[in-house]
Amino acid sequence: MQPDRAARAPSWSELEGIRLLRGVATALVRLGDSYGTESLSHPYPTEAQQALDATVLACLLLKADPPESLPDLIQWAADLPVEAWPFALPADALRSGSQLLDRGTRQPTQLCYEWAVDGERSAALSEQPFMAAAARRCREEDYPEAYQAFRRLLIRRPVLTDRDLVTLPGAHLGDLEPLRDLLRDIYQPVPASYIHPGRGVCTACARCGTLLHPTTKGGMWCERQICQKRDSVRAGREYRTDHDGGINLLIRPLRQWVSAPGIQELRLARRLTKAGADVELWPDYGAYGMRVLLADGTAWAVEHKDWTTPALLGRRAVPPRSGPPHDRCVWVVPASRLSEQPNFRATFERYRQGASPHLVTDSELALAVREASGSVSSGARSDAPVTRSPDDESKGALF
């Protein structure tokens, strides 16, 4: 007997709306990475043309007004929440009000990156090839300190001058020396879109250290969500573009997927250490985020993942394939994420595969650590309020 194909629910990747949204997000991320406005003149880049064609076709089928050009599509992405696009998507696939591009700078939002890396052809938008190369190089040298120094550099120094690229690898006991060539690949000359028109300078964010984008209205915007949640942008150091030989910015996949979550990873590690755990960051050359050894002897493998889209995060949840042994594996999101999106945990669980990590908040993990150390009774767990750590309240720099 033939299987009843009509009765089979389509998989995520077979849904037309999912394919369309991924295609548009991927095209927008690649356009954001191409400097200047050449990409907006004919002929358009192939991926952008395909995304435009697919959106036009979807509009025509729905008898809606289509975008007439690539600049028109970009305008849509900066103006329209994704639920207003002509894409049929599962109800829990999106957070209402989310946009693919920031309105003031036309830069891809985190949501846009999350959809772009959900695609099958996403390796070039991911941090994986670069982090795997760093791990391989340090492992060959049997030099775990080099890998640790590399992770901390990406978190603390998203901007390096030409002079830094020459002198840094040899400094600090030479820990970065094995990665000298890789640093040249991942720190690229600052794109023109970061340079203030007429002044020839770019400005770092005083909170996280990455460069701020000038907006169309003369303001500035930090691409990191952790900074966007604050009341206002805080301008930090200004760099002349020719300072110390030239300014280089860490490439976006590493800023997005390593530097930004790394700030939160370091804060979580400090918080768990203070609560009584023994924390090892990026064990076995980054096999997973951190190994947390509780006072009762149990070891947790922890990944900090602050994503905006719980469905996409749930789809990616996999246990570590290597690294030191652990008794439990969890993915951690900030408690504030669940306060803002009450369905976050339920949606993550719906998309999570059987043996993959469960989701906990940073507050829940800190409570588990305190319970294990005996500084709080286990009865406090069930009705623990979602609280913010003292670090979260800081209005200053994130380091």
Question: Which span (33-41, 124-132, 142-150, 215-223) binds Zn ion, by CB under 5 A?
Answer: 215-223
Interface with Zn ion includes 205 (CB under 5 A)? yes
Q: Which is nearer to Zn ion, 222 or 268 (CB)?
A: 222
Residues 350-379 that bind Zn ion (CB under 5 A): none
Residue with tokens 């938008």: 125
- Beta 358-361 vs 328-333: how paired, if at all? parallel
C-beta of 28: minimal distance to Zn ion in Å? 21
Total length of the chain: 399
Q: Which is nearer to Zn ion, 224 or 267 (CB)?
A: 224
Interface with Zn ion includes 207 (CB under 5 A)? yes
Interface with Zn ion includes 155 (CB under 5 A)? no
Interface with Zn ion includes 208 (CB under 5 A)? yes
Using DSSP, state whether 36 is helix, strand or coil: coil
Give the number of residues in contact with Zn ion, rule: CB under 5 A.
6
Question: Which span (133-141, 143-151, 199-207, 344-352) binds Zn ion, by CB under 5 A?
Answer: 199-207
Question: Which span (74-82, 204-212, 213-221, 282-290) binds Zn ion, by CB under 5 A?
Answer: 204-212
Which parts of the chain fold into alpha helices (H)?
16-33, 46-61, 70-79, 110-117, 128-140, 144-156, 162-167, 180-186, 225-228, 252-254, 260-274, 283-286, 310-316, 335-340, 344-351, 362-372
- What are the tokens at 347? 């949606």
Question: Which span (64-72, 220-228, 238-246, 313-321) binds Zn ion, by CB under 5 A?
Answer: 220-228
Q: Which is nearer to Zn ion, 95 or 207 (CB)?
A: 207
175 φ/ψ angles, rounded to the nearest 5 degrees: -60, -30
Q: Which of 213, 224, 267, 305 binds Zn ion (CB under 5 A)?
A: 224
Question: Which span (58-66, 72-80, 205-213, 347-355) binds Zn ion, by CB under 5 A?
Answer: 205-213
Residues 386/367, Cβ–Cβ less than 8 Å: no
Q: Which is nearer to Zn ion, 201 or 386 (CB)?
A: 201
Q: Which is nearer to Zn ion, 155 or 359 (CB)?
A: 155
Sign of the four-CA dihedral 89, 90, 96, 98:
negative
Interface with Zn ion includes 222 (CB under 5 A)? yes
Q: Which is nearer to Zn ion, 228 or 353 (CB)?
A: 228
Q: Which is nearer to Zn ion, 258 or 277 (CB)?
A: 258
Give the separation between CA 45 and CA 345, rounded to whole angstroms.
Answer: 38
- What are the tokens at 370? 């305190």
Give the separation between CA 236 and CA 391, rounded to whole angstroms.
Answer: 20
Interface with Zn ion includes 227 (CB under 5 A)? yes
Q: Which helix (H) or strand (E) holds 221?
A: strand 220-221
Q: Which is nearer to Zn ion, 266 or 317 (CB)?
A: 266
- What are the tokens at 144? 């775990």
C-beta of 248: minimal distance to Zn ion in Å? 18
- The DSSP secondary-structure symbol of 191 reads P
C-beta of 290: minimal distance to Zn ion in Å? 23
Give the separation between CA 126 and CA 110, rounded to whole angstroms.
Answer: 13
Q: Which is nearer to Zn ion, 113 or 351 (CB)?
A: 113
Interface with Zn ion includes 271 (CB under 5 A)? no
Q: Measured at the alpha carbon of residue 219, what is the angle toward residues 337 and 230, in degrees to the nearest 5?
A: 25
Question: Which span (70-78, 116-124, 218-226, 275-283) binds Zn ion, by CB under 5 A?
Answer: 218-226
Q: Which is nearer to Zn ion, 156 or 315 (CB)?
A: 156
C-beta of 154: minimal distance to Zn ion in Å? 15
Question: Which span (95-103, 126-134, 197-205, 286-294) binds Zn ion, by CB under 5 A?
Answer: 197-205
Interface with Zn ion includes 249 (CB under 5 A)? no
Question: Which span (203-211, 250-258, 308-316, 344-352) binds Zn ion, by CB under 5 A?
Answer: 203-211
Q: What share of residues in the chain are helix, strand, coil (percent, to 5)?
A: 50, 15, 40
Interface with Zn ion includes 151 (CB under 5 A)? no
53, 280, 389 from 384: Cα distances, Å: 50, 26, 14
Using DSSP, state whether 290 is helix, strand or coil: strand
Residues 42/16, Cβ–Cβ less than 8 Å: no
> In the complex, which residues of this chain contact Zn ion (CB under 5 A)?
205, 207-208, 222, 224, 227
